[in-house]
C-alpha cells in the first residue's frame, strides 16, 4: 500500500521539528516502500542531525556479524553499477544540488537564492582534509594530483582546485558531471579533469597523490565499493594518501547481488555497507598503512550504524 502524504509529513515533523518539504519531494517519498525507509532517509538529512546530540547510544561491541557479498564477476559488477547510474542520473536531472547535501534550500526551486551558500559549503570538506593531513604530519605540498571521487556537481572539487595543482573529478552521473564542468567554466577554473565512473577503471586512469571521497561510497552496492577501493589502492602513488568515509556496519544489513538485481530497492538514495575487514584487507594487499580510523556521524542513527572516516598512506617502496 502506498504511503500517504500526511504519513510522510508527520514523520518529517516528528524528526526534524521543521516544516515539511515541498509537495514534489513529499510525493517522491510516498513512493518509498515503508515508513521505516522514510525515517531512515529523514534521519540522514542535515535538519535531523542538527537536532540530535552527539553523545548517544552506539552499536554495541556484541553486535553480530553481517552477511555481505563483497565480490562479483565483471558482468555482475556492470549490472550493479548500471542500477547506481540510473538512479543518480535521474537525481542529477531532477535535483542535482539537493542530491549532494540533502538540504531543501538546494532544491531547484530554491537554488538560485542559495547558490552562494552551496558553493561555499565545499570549504568544510577541504578544511577536514587539511586538518587530517596536519594532524598526521603529512605535507600538503607533496600532493600534486588529487582525486575527488563522487564529485557530484563539483561542490568540493572547486575548492580542491584552489588548493592543489591538479584535480581528477569522478562521478557516475553524466548530469552531475555536466553541472560540475559548467561551474568550473563559469569560475574560470582550468585544472580539473571531469571523468565518468565506469568499470573497470571507475574513472581512475593515472596515479594520484591524494584520493578523497565523502558520503559517496555508501550509495554503491558492496561489490562496487570493493572494486572502486581496489582500483584506488592500486593507483595510489608511492607515499600517496587515501582519505574516505564508508559505512562499515548497519544492524540487520545483508547483501547478495543476485537478490538485489532481481528487485533493486525503490529508494533513490540507498545506503550500503562494506565491512571494515574488507577495507583493511585491501589496504594490506596494496602495501598501504592505516593512519587513522575515526567513527563519524554520517549514517544515522549511530545506535544502528557505524560509519568510518579512514586514512591510509601507501608505502614508498620504490
Q: Is residue 40 domain-shared with residue 138, that is, in the same domain?
A: no
The model's pLDDT over 100-118, given as tens digits with 9 standing for 90+, comes to 988 889 999 999 999 999 9
The reply to whether 93 falls in a domain is no
Whether the predicted pLDDT of 53 surpasses 70: no
pLDDT of residue 118: 92
pLDDT of residue 84: 97
In the chain, the N- to C-terminal Cα span, in Å, equals 61
Most confident range, picked from 12-16, 53-57, 141-145 = 141-145
Confidence of residue 33 (pLDDT cuts 50, 70, 90): confident
Residues 6+ apart with CB under 8 A from 43: 15, 49, 300, 301
Its pTM stands at 0.84
The reply to whether 9 falls in a domain is yes
The reply to whether 209 falls in a domain is yes
CB 93 within 8 A of CB 176: no
Total domains in the chain come to 2
The reply to whether 72 falls in a domain is no
Q: What is the mean pLDDT of residues 85-109?
A: 93
Domain end marker among 52, 75, 92: 52
Q: What is the mean pLDDT of residues 236-258?
A: 97
Angstrom distance (rounded) from CA 230 to CA 279: 9
Instruction: Give the rounded distance of the alpha carbon of 11 from its chain centre.
Output: 24
Q: Is residue 129 domain-shared with residue 38, that is, in the same domain?
A: no
Angstrom distance (rounded) from CA 240 to CA 237: 5
Q: Is residue 129 domain-shared with residue 271, that is, in the same domain?
A: yes
The reply to whether 13 falls in a domain is yes
Of 13-17, 41-45, 220-224, give the lowest mean pLDDT range: 41-45
Whether the predicted pLDDT of 317 surpasses 90: no
pLDDT of residue 55: 47
Angstrom distance (rounded) from CA 107 to CA 114: 9
Q: Of 181, 167, 187, nearest to 120 (Cα)?
A: 187
CATH number for 245? 3.40.50.150
Evaluate the CA torsion angle 99, 197, 124, 111 in order and state its sign: negative
The reply to whether 60 falls in a domain is no
Residues 6+ apart with CB under 8 A from 223: 69, 70, 71, 72, 76, 77, 80, 257
Q: Is residue 48 domain-shared with residue 129, that is, in the same domain?
A: no
Q: Is residue 8 domain-shared with residue 128, that is, in the same domain?
A: no
The reply to whether 255 falls in a domain is yes
Domain enclosing residue 36, as ranges: 1-52
The DSSP code sequence of 184-225 is HHHTT--SEEEEE--TTTTT--S-EEEEEESS-GGGS-HHHH
The reply to whether 85 falls in a domain is no
pLDDT above 70: percentage of residues in the chain = 95
Q: Is residue 271 domain-shared with residue 151, that is, in the same domain?
A: yes
Amino acid at each position: 500500500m502506498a504511503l500517504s502524504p500526511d504519513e510522510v509529513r508527520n514523520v518529517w515533523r516528528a524528526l526534524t521539528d521543521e516544516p515539511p518539504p515541498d509537495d514534489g519531494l513529499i510525493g517522491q517519498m510516498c513512493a518509498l516502500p515503508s515508513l521505516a525507509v522514510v525515517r531512515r532517509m529523514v534521519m540522514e538529512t542535515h535538519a535531523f542531525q542538527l537536532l540530535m546530540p552527539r553523545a548517544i547510544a552506539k552499536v554495541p561491541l556484541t553486535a553480530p556479524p553481517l552477511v555481505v557479498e563483497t565480490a562479483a564477476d565483471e558482468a555482475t559488477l556492470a549490472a550493479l553499477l548500471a542500477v547506481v547510474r540510473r538512479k543518480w542520473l535521474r537525481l542529477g536531472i531532477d535535483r542535482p544540488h539537493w542530491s549532494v547535501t540533502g538540504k531543501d534550500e538546494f532544491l531547484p526551486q530554491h537554488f538560485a537564492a542559495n547558490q552562494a551558500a552551496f558553493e561555499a559549503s565545499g570549504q568544510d570538506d577541504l578544511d577536514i582534509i587539511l586538518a587530517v593531513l596536519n594532524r598526521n604530519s603529512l605535507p600538503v605540498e607533496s600532493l600534486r594530483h588529487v582525486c575527488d571521487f563522487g564529485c557530484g556537481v563539483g561542490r568540493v572539487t572547486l575548492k580542491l582546485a584552489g588548493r592543489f595543482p591538479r584535480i581528477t573529478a569522478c562521478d557516475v552521473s553524466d548530469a552531475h558531471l555536466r553541472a560540475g564542468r559548467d561551474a568550473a567554466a563559469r569560475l574560470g577554473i582550468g585544472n580539473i579533469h571531469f571523468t565518468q565512473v565506469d568499470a573497470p577503471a571507475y574513472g581512475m586512469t593515472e596515479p594520484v597523490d591524494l584520493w578523497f571521497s565523502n558520503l559517496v561510497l555508501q550509495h554503491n552496492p558492496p561489490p562496487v565499493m570493493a572494486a572502486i577501493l581496489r582500483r584506488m589502492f592500486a593507483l595510489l602513488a608511492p607515499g600517496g594518501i587515501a582519505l574516505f568515509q564508508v559505512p562499515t556496519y548497519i544492524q540487520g544489513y545483508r547483501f547478495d547481488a543476485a537478490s538485489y538485481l532481481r528487485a533493486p530497492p525503490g529508494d533513490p538514495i540507498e545506503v550500503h555497507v562494506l565491512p571494515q575487514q574488507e577495507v583493511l584487507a585491501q589496504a594490506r594487499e596494496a602495501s598501504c598503512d592505516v593512519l587513522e580510523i575515526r567513527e563519524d556521524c554520517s549514517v544515522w542513527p549511530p545506535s544502528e550504524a557505524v560509519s568510518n572516516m579512514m586514512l591510509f598512506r601507501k608505502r614508498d617502496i620504490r
